[in-house]
Amino acid sequence: MSTVLLVDHLPIVRDGLRALLQRTGHQVIGEVDNGQDALLKCRQLHPDLVIIELLVPRLGGLDLLRRLRASHQGIKLLVYSVQEASLYAARSLQAGADAYVSKTEALQALEHALQAVSHGRSYFPREATRQEASESESELEQLSGRELTVLQMLSQGLNNKDIAGQLSLSYKTVSTYKVRLHQKLRVDSDFQLLEVARSHGLVAGDDGARVQGAPVDPQLLHEYGLLRALLDSAPYPMFVRDLEGHLLMCNRRYLAYTGESFEMIRGTTMDQARWLPAPLRERSWLRFREAVIREEPFMTEAVIEIAGSPTAMHIWCTPFRDEAGTLVAMLGGMRDLTERDRMLTTLRQEGAEARFESHLKSTTLVAVSHELQALLAGMQQSLEQALQPGADASQPGLSALAQQIDDMRHSLARIDAVMTLDAHENEAQTEAHNLGTLTEEILAPWRQRLAAAGCLLDLGPGLRALQSAWIDALHYRQLLDSLFSYLQLGTLPARIDLHLATSIQPRGLLRLNLELTPWHAPHSHDTSALLAHASIQRLLLRLQAKAQVVAAGDRTFSSWHLELELPQALPFL
């Protein structure tokens, strides 16, 4: 059978290959862990077959294949590698390999390849012979074998000097290859080259296979690894840009906000970010350039429309320095502030409601004060008339005095009602009610009272169709009573329409809609109407309801609309 030389940087892999080869009748005559020693051993031992891992230091697998094919015409070359077969199988074929097997495949694939090579046949996956390249691979397909080798070595952490030594090239030649890589891959820095290599599985350590014994550029590899680990573990969108503002890398959460793939936005600057509003793009770009010049962080807040919904974002960017303290990039990110803004809105709403409630109370008390002062002035006048010498005690002045006392009693009753509302605020309890039955019960006395005054109360056809909900029945009753008390203060129309409807809402809520027609705003000089209107507003706050006056269509009168969301209750049996 064949004599074999093993070229792999991992001793455990070489041990496994040796056992397999001996079991199948092959003889292992040598093993090495790097490309330079492989060339030397082949010249010394003249093996029939060389099994090669492409990811080896001190030359690189593709260069080793080309050199062995050029110097040993009859030798068999089998690649057994962790590299992506979809990319490296075809490159290995072009470099002179006779077979390619991925280490991710079953062991039988390697046995089949050994048998094929031993009988003079080749063994490659379909990816090596297909004509077209997929869109994801076309980026590296355009590279020459030497350029791909240089990219691979850069991804292993080697600097230009180390690459030149391993490939027996001059430092200037390696620099030229790097310039070509920048041009062909449309990148502007070594950070971006590493990101391209990472996206194709070339960065050492991405698949668990790190080159042993390879001289590493600690600055580049450490900085890249630190940034990549930070971005991938961040719970929010993050990115890295070079000092010219080009996007070097970002995490998946950032891509989710942009709606683009990394290949589409790599190398773009902030003023080219189409997913941001134009004013924000320009403002962020200017702030970024200023921060780079001053070498200081910056932050801003903005509202961005994402999926049609306005989203408040906190955007920040801070300098990233190497171990020597030199500014090498700008690290940035975004935080979704929607929940924070929602909490602030709730707090502001509660504060505004408290201030409005206090204003209503003050307005109510001022109105009552004016009413009482007017009544007291009238009483004073009536008393003076009754006490004049020779005045008849039964004169009309005493009757007027009695009426004014009665009016004052009613005013004090209204004050008592307002104070009672505050006193029972914490005592109000929500109970499950059928809204139709509850409303009909509350309005039954009002229908009789209005009918006696020549006014028809029409509740519409939908009252029985109202569903059940948990409601503060006390304040709901007071609200309906206050509405009709308010209407009774003016001239009653021949007909009042009160229509109610319920609708199911998300999160187990039930929306109650109420429309009352006709409606009129209180006059500024009508103290009783202002007091009643203030009571209605206070009850709306207690029930957390929304109300508005609507003048719709050709109606002579305006309508009063109420919207109240309540927890839905199970139907009553």
CATH of 218-336, one of 3.40.50.300, 3.90.1300.10, 3.40.1190.20, 3.30.450.20: 3.30.450.20
Q: What is the pLDDT of residue 131?
A: 44
Q: What is the pLDDT of residues 285-295, one digit of tens each?
A: 888 888 888 88
Q: What is the pLDDT of residue 198?
A: 66
Query: Distance between CA atoms of 109 and 132, rounded to whole angstroms?
Result: 25
Query: Distance between CA atoms of 375 and 382, rounded to whole angstroms?
Result: 11
Q: What is the pLDDT of residue 207?
A: 36
Look at residue 399 and tell me whether its pLDDT is greater than 60.
Answer: yes
Task: Cite the residue boundaries of each domain of the chain with CATH code 3.30.565.10.
Answer: 428-573
Q: What percent of the chain has pLDDT over 90?
A: 13
pLDDT tier for residue 321 given thresholds of 50, 70 and 90:
confident
Q: What is the mean pLDDT of residues 403-422?
A: 65
- Retrieve residue 229's tokens: 């680990």
Q: What is the mean pLDDT of residues 477-487?
A: 90
Query: Distance between CA atoms of 92 and 77, rounded to whole angstroms?
Result: 10
C-alpha pair distances (Å), 483 with each of 452, 516, 570: 18, 9, 29
- What is the CATH number that goes with domain 428-573? 3.30.565.10
| Angle CA 109–208–78, to nearest 5 | 30
Q: What is the mean pLDDT of residues 157-185?
A: 78
Q: What CATH architecture does domain 352-423 belong to?
A: Orthogonal Bundle (1.10)
- Retrieve residue 571's tokens: 């139907």
Q: What is the pLDDT of residue 49?
A: 92
Q: What is the mean pLDDT of residues 438-448?
A: 92
Q: What is the pLDDT of residue 379?
A: 72
Residue scoring higher pLDDT (501 or 88): 501
The DSSP H or E segment spanning 143 is none
Q: What is the pLDDT of residue 5?
A: 92
Residue scoring higher pLDDT (393 or 31): 31
Task: Cite the residue boundaries of each domain of the chain with CATH code 3.30.450.20.
Answer: 218-336
Q: Using DSSP, state whether 121 is helix, strand or coil.
A: coil
Q: Strand runs (DSSP E) across 20-153, as ranges?
A: 27-32, 49-52, 76-81, 99-102
Look at residue 444 and tell me whether its pLDDT is greater than 80.
Answer: yes
The DSSP H or E segment spanning 560 is strand 558-567
Look at residue 462 and tell me whether its pLDDT is greater than 90.
Answer: no
Q: Is 184 exposed, middle or buried (0-12, 13-18, 19+ CB in 10 A)?
A: middle
Return the CATH superfamily for domain 3-131. Response regulator (3.40.50.2300)
Any idea which of 162-176, 249-263, 419-433 has the lowest mean pLDDT?
Answer: 419-433
Q: What is the mean pLDDT of residues 475-493?
A: 89
* Nearest Cα to Cα of residue 119 among 93, 91, 99: 99
Q: What is the pLDDT of residues 361-386, one digit of tens each?
A: 667 667 766 777 777 777 777 767 76
- Which phi and psi (to 5°) does residue 420 adopt? -65, -35
Query: Distance between CA atoms of 226 and 323, rounded to whole angstroms?
Result: 12
Residue scoring higher pLDDT (446 or 405): 446
The DSSP H or E segment spanning 4 is strand 3-7
Query: Distance between CA atoms of 469 and 543, rounded to whole angstroms?
Result: 13
The DSSP H or E segment spanning 6 is strand 3-7
Of the chain, the end-to-end C-alpha distance in Å amounts to: 90
Q: What is the mean pLDDT of residues 294-319?
A: 81
Look at residue 439 and tell me whether its pLDDT is greater than 90.
Answer: yes
Give the residue carrying structure tokens 């919207």: 563
Q: Using DSSP, state whether 41 is helix, strand or coil.
A: helix
Any idea which of 225-229, 286-290, 336-340 has the lowest mean pLDDT?
Answer: 225-229
Between β-strands 3-7 and 27-32, what pairing exists: parallel, antiparallel or unpaired?
parallel
Give the residue carrying structure tokens 């391993």: 166
Q: What is the pLDDT of residue 220?
A: 53
Q: What is the pLDDT of residue 563?
A: 92
Mean pLDDT of the chain: 78
Any idea which of 20-29, 129-138, 543-552 has the lowest mean pLDDT?
Answer: 129-138
Task: Cite the residue boundaries of each domain of the chain with CATH code 3.40.50.2300.
Answer: 3-131
Q: What is the mean pLDDT of residues 33-56?
A: 89
